[in-house]
């Protein structure tokens, strides 16, 4: 009986092992077919964690595919390990609560590549409850625990270390931290290097570190429990706060993926001066002096030109622009600059606003004929960005972009896409390129600029002529800061920036995917070999579309709400891509006369403001207050003028009615 039981047990054990072997074989075969991923994410099976959500935002930003594996114990880790072995996998992210369920030796072996290098690992969401032995094992003894809780207060900041390959342009910066709680990693400084420290008034505590474990580079990040806060008031604040939350994942994946992640083909920047026209000087703006500052400090200035001024340019200034097109350019600033002429549709009907766009284009074409100067088909809205409908009209008239302090139309809400705040541009509204820009007239935190540079966002700054009251070199410091953060920054006109606004990443076959954002695109092959570029661009197909490459018609495929086409580009060469929308616009038939007395008075008063009123500090204060409260100020001024008018009328009437001897003698 005992022998029979032993044999039966052996048979059962053998069958069990056979079953496991067959399952493993099936899993291995399936992994070879199915688990082709850029990022392998391992987490618990009870729903997505904050760590996985942050990883998803970062992976989506960089265009990386993510395969998620839910683990309970070590019997679940085989598919994940097989996925990590694939050559297409560039990174592994593990939430700290499943470290015990993974065979570290097997995974560290799986991430080793034929060239001897290993893909990096991020262990995220470490808390005070994470096992000390697990942390020592995975970090090679560099991290042994997490002390806490550590409060994150309003005075706390994240201080970024200088590890160039990881921190890049963020090196040495301090990022604002949202209030909440975290824990401080217990680190052996001889085995690990801190990437991010939580800095307070009294001390600094490591919350994101890297350690070398054999051939593998392992990053470890502590968890953060955020307090409930109201949404930030501006797009800039929103961008910064969102980035500080995902900074470890963003840094890690940018480091891990390299050219396999979405990346720009260059870093671009621009300064725009609103309202000025081509007269020397215009207020405090002296073009010849500004040109010298641009040359010394390497920046480019665009004049946001009001089309009403199309026939007022001075010959000397025209010649200056013509001879220095690498430093000076022109874009479109409204039409009449009639206060908020592209304001709410309830007060400014869409038809009237569309007619304003037509007239602005017709006037700028006349400006081009009179001066011989080109202009960028980019709209800078006066006072604030227009409605979504008028943005759609800009697209139909083949504008390239709009650039404003906000890139969200005045009648729209912030997009719910978690990546929205990480970009300084968007196609979320009518598939039209909308830039967000900084006002250099108010203090700008260098951390905000550094975040945008790290994210490879174009930096667009703007000012008004009175900005130069403190000296024509006032912008020099900002230009120097940008050039120091990112040497080789390309300062260009906004149209040129739009022309190069696309993201690129390398495919498995060595060719390249392109994500396009502008209707005009110059694709540069900066690589040492000929390549195919697989281009995609979002489209709403509201207007008939013709695709041109180097000026000739080119075929494309419509895939849902996108167009797609493949473009061969020789090594070191470039090709020009243009999406041209059919609109039937005949600019010759558009009336460009200045028939409105009210607009003429307004424009001359604006010139008086910039040339005379702004000459004093009191005057500049008045202008700033007026600009910030224009609607109320206009109502107040109108009321004062009406009261003054009626007062003078009454005084005049009474004077006329009052008997006067001299007047009676004259009448006699």
**Tell me: the pLDDT tens digits for 164-221?**
999 999 999 999 888 899 999 999 988 999 999 999 888 899 999 999 999 999 999 9
Task: Please state, in angstroms and as integers, the Cα–Cα distance from residue 604 to each residue in 37, 280, 336, 609, following that order.
Answer: 62, 16, 12, 9
Distance CA 268, CA 382 (A): 24
CB 302 within 8 A of CB 272: yes
CB 338 within 8 A of CB 330: no
Pairing between strand 520-524 and 574-581?
antiparallel
Query: CA quadruple 44, 47, 49, 53: dihedral positive or negative?
Result: positive
Distance CA 294, CA 308 (A): 27
**Residue 321: both structure tokens together:** 């622009």
Q: What is the pLDDT of residues 491-514, one digit of tens each?
A: 999 999 999 999 999 998 999 999
Pure H helices in 93-234: 104-110, 132-139, 164-167
Distance CA 316, CA 411 (A): 42
**Residue 37: both structure tokens together:** 């991923």
Residues contacting 472, CB < 8 A, separation 6+: 284, 285, 286, 289, 290, 293
Q: What is the pLDDT of residues 562-592, one digit of tens each?
A: 999 999 999 999 999 999 999 888 999 999 9
**Residue 611 pLDDT exceeds 90:** no
Distance CA 609, CA 8 (A): 100
CB 505 within 8 A of CB 512: yes
Residue 273 φ/ψ region, left for φ over 0, alpha for ψ in the -120 to 50 degree band, beta for the rest: beta
Residue 64 dihedral angles phi and psi, to the nearest 5°: -100, 135
Q: What is the pLDDT of residues 19-71, one digit of tens each?
A: 433 333 333 333 334 455 699 999 987 767 888 889 999 999 999 999 999 98
Band the pLDDT of 288: cuts 50, 70, 90.
very high
Q: What is the pLDDT of residues 423-444, one digit of tens each?
A: 999 999 999 999 999 999 999 9
Query: CA quadruple 419, 425, 428, 431: dihedral positive or negative?
Result: negative
CB 36 within 8 A of CB 234: no
Distance CA 130, CA 147 (A): 10
What's the first-to-final CA gap in the chain, in angstroms? Answer: 152
DSSP code for 230: P
CB 575 within 8 A of CB 565: no
Query: So what's the pLDDT on residue 239?
Result: 47
The alpha-carbon radius of gyration of the chain (Å, integer) is: 31
547: number of CA atoms within 13 Å, CB side?
Answer: 20
Task: Please state, in angstroms and as integers, the Cα–Cα distance from residue 229 to each residue in 150, 232, 241, 392, 456, following that order.
Answer: 18, 8, 11, 34, 28
Distance CA 302, CA 275 (A): 11
Neighbours of 249 (CB within 10 A): 28
Distance CA 92, CA 40 (A): 5
CB 542 within 8 A of CB 388: no
Distance CA 106, CA 84 (A): 10
Instruction: Give which of 641, 611, 639, 614 is closest to 625, Cα–Cα.
Output: 614
Distance CA 398, CA 581 (A): 6
CB 345 within 8 A of CB 388: no
* Of 348 and 379, the one with more pLDDT: 379
Q: What is the pLDDT of residues 626-641, one digit of tens each?
A: 555 555 554 555 465 5
pTM of the model: 0.85
Neighbours of 568 (CB within 10 A): 12
Q: What is the pLDDT of residues 522-556, one digit of tens each?
A: 999 999 999 999 999 999 999 999 999 999 999 99
CA dihedral 475, 479, 480, 485 (to 10 degrees): 140
Largest CA-CA distance found in the chain, in angstroms, rounded: 152
Element (DSSP H or E) covering residue 447:
helix 446-454
Residue 450 φ/ψ region, left for φ over 0, alpha for ψ in the -120 to 50 degree band, beta for the rest: alpha
Residues contacting 341, CB < 8 A, separation 6+: 334, 335, 348, 353, 356, 382
Q: What is the pLDDT of residues 299-347, one digit of tens each?
A: 999 999 999 999 999 999 999 999 999 999 999 999 999 877 998 898 8
Stretch among 42-51, 95-104, 451-460, 558-567 having the lowest mean pLDDT: 42-51
CB 578 within 8 A of CB 565: no
B/e letters for 65-89, b = 16+ CB within 10 Å, e = fewer, are ebbbbbbeeeebbbbbbbbbbbeeb
Query: So what's the pLDDT on residue 13?
Result: 44
Strand order in the sheet with 143-152: 143-152, 180-187, 224-226
**Residue 359: both structure tokens together:** 């007239």
Distance CA 153, CA 150 (A): 10
């Amino acid at each position: 009986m005992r022998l029979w039981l032993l044999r039966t047990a052996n048979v059962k054990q053998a069958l069990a092992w056979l079953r496991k072997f067959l399952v493993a074989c099936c899993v291995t075969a399936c992994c070879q077919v199915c688990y082709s991923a850029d990022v392998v994410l391992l987490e618990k099976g009870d729903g997505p964690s904050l760590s996985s959500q942050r990883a998803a935002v970062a992976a989506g930003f960089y265009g990386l595919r993510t395969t998620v594996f839910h683990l309970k114990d070590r019997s679940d880790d085989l598919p994940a390990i097989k996925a990590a072995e694939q050559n297409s996998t560039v990174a592994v992210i593990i939430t700290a609560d499943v470290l015990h369920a993974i065979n570290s030796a097997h995974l560290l072996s799986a991430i080793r590549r034929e060239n001897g290098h290993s893909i990096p690992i991020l262990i995220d969401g470490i808390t005070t409850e994470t096992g000390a032995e697990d942390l020592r094992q995975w970090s090679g003894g560099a991290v042994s625990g997490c002390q806490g809780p550590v409060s994150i207060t309003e005075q706390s900041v994240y201080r970024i270390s200088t590890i160039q390959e990881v921190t890049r342009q963020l090196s040495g910066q301090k990022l604002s931290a949202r209030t909440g709680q975290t824990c401080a990693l217990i680190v052996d400084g001889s085995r690990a290097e801190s990437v991010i420290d939580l800095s307070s008034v009294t001390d600094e505590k490591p919350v994101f570190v890297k350690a070398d474990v054999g051939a593998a580079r392992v990053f470890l990040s502590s968890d953060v429990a955020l307090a409930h806060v109201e949404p930030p008031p501006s797009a800039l604040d929103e961008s910064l706060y969102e980035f500080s939350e995902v900074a470890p994942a963003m840094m890690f994946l940018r480091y891990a993926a390299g050219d396999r992640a979405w990346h720009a083909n260059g870093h671009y920047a621009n300064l725009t001066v609103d309202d000025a026209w081509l007269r020397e000087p215009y207020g405090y703006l002296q073009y010849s002096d500004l040109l010298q500052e641009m040359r010394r400090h390497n920046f480019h200035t665009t004049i946001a030109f009001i089309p009403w001024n199309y026939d007022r340019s001075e010959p000397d200034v025209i010649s200056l622009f013509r001879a220095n097109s690498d430093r000076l350019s022109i874009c479109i600033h409204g039409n009449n600059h009639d206060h908020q002429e592209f304001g709410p549709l309830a007060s400014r009907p869409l038809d009237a606003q569309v007619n304003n766009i037509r007239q602005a284009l017709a006037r700028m074409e006349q400006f081009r004929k009179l001066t011989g100067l080109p202009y960028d088909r980019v709209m800078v809205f006066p006072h604030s960005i227009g409605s979504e409908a008028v943005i759609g009209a800009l697209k139909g008239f083949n504008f390239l972009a709009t650039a404003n302090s906000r890139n969200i139309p005045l009648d729209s809400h912030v997009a719910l896409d978690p990546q929205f705040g990480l970009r300084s541009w968007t196609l979320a509204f009518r598939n039209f390129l909308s830039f967000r820009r900084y006002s250099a007239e108010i203090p700008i935190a260098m951390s905000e600029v550094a975040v945008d540079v790290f994210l490879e966002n174009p930096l667009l700054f703007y000012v008004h002529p009175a900005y130069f009251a403190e000296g024509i070199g006032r912008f020099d410091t900002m230009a120097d800061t940008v050039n120091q953060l990112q040497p080789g920054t390309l300062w260009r006109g906004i149209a040129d920036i739009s022309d190069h606004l696309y993201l690129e990443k390398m495919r498995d076959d060595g060719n390249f995917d392109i994500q396009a954002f502008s209707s005009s695109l110059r694709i540069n092959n900066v690589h040492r070999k000929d390549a195919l570029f697989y281009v995609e661009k979002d489209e709403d197909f509201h207007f008939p579309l013709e695709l041109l490459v180097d000026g000739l018609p080119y075929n494309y495929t419509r895939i849902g709400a996108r167009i797609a086409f493949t473009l061969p580009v020789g090594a070191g060469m470039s090709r020009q891509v243009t999406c041209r929308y059919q609109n039937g616009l005949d600019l010759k038939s558009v009336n460009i006369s200045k028939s409105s007395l009210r607009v003429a008075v307004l424009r001359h008063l604006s010139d008086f403001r910039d040339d005379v009123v702004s000459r004093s500090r009191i005057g500049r204060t008045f202008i700033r207050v007026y600009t910030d409260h224009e609607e109320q100020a206009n109502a107040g001024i109108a009321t004062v003028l009406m009261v003054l008018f009626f007062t003078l009328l009454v005084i005049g009437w009474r004077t006329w009615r009052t008997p006067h001897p001299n007047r009676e003698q004259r009448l006699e």
